[in-house]
Amino acid sequence: MKKIQNITKKKNKTKIVCLTAYSKNIAEEIDKYADIVLVGDSLGSVLYNYTTTRKVSLTEMINHSKSVKMGVKKSLLVVDMPYKTYDTNNSALKNAKKIIQETKCDAVKLEGGKKVIKQIRLLIKNKISVMGHLGLLPQTAKGKFKSKGKNSREAKQLMDDAMLLQKNGVFAIVLECVSTSVAKQITQKLSIPTIGIGSSVHCDGQVLVTDDLLGINDTKIRFVKKFMNLKKYINLGLKKFSQEVRSKRYPSKKHSY
């Protein structure tokens, strides 16, 4: 609970940094800079080449989260509940408990507002901390991914859903691809933090897929800024290794028993 409070009290004070991690070594580095480490079901497209996050299984999420947990010391660890694992109250509670017990994470994230509010209420009643996710919802989006909140109907729906999630006890809400003005209004109205992804600087924090910002996952999504080209450095190391193996410079005596 202390970790959750540390996040919520940042609202209107300091921006919240959230990053995805799928395994231990990278999680260890992310933990130094992030407030929240998210094991996102984006791992489906980033690691497994799935065309949709709908294919990600509970077992995959749990296994990656167990690995991430080993690298996270100070940040809040949040795990995405995959598609179809929270369809009913029973399945939501059973699967959220399984995730928490097996991964020792601090909270779970579910996509949706009114449609999943009964499940969210039940989890919170059972002392499971929940992060919300509104706007573009990759698990249920149909066709081409589009931004949300561009007309007054969508804007009202987003605001209503955000208020409903807050009222029912979620500690923060991810806003994905929500138009700037709507993200700003929601952020100002809520007392819990919003974490934006493609939803402008007005959100209380930002999240990105780490592989995207480091340049190891090729993507052309508008909101992704490539903060470095890690592929270049990976290539340098791999090239050196292959050259030394072929020229028999590696392994030298020093590296042999």
Cα distance between residue 228 and residue 252, in whole Å: 33
Residue 98 neighbours by CB distance under 10 Å? 13
Residue 37 found at the interface with ligand KIV (CB under 6 A): no
Task: Tell me if residue 244 is catalytic.
Answer: no
Q: At residue 44, what is the residue type?
A: G
DSSP string, 139-186: TT--SS---B--SHHHHHHHHHHHHHHHHTT-SEEEEESB-HHHHHHH
Stretch binding ligand KIV (CB under 6 A), from 39-47, 70-78, 229-237, 246-254: 39-47
Cα distance between residue 191 and residue 170, in whole Å: 11
Is the distance from CB of 210 to CB of 21 less than 8 angstroms?
A: yes
Residue 207 found at the interface with ligand KIV (CB under 6 A): yes
Question: Which 64-103 residues touch ligand KIV, going by CB under 6 A?
Answer: 80
Least distance to ligand KIV from the beta carbon of 11, Å? Answer: 18
Among the listed residues 134, 158, 209, 214, the single contact to ligand KIV using CB under 6 A: 209
Residue 117 found at the interface with ligand KIV (CB under 6 A): no
For ligand KIV, give the closer residue by CB, 162 or 197: 197
Least distance to ligand KIV from the beta carbon of 178, Å? Answer: 12
Residue ranges binding ligand KIV (CB under 6 A): 20, 38, 40-42, 80, 174, 176, 197, 207, 209
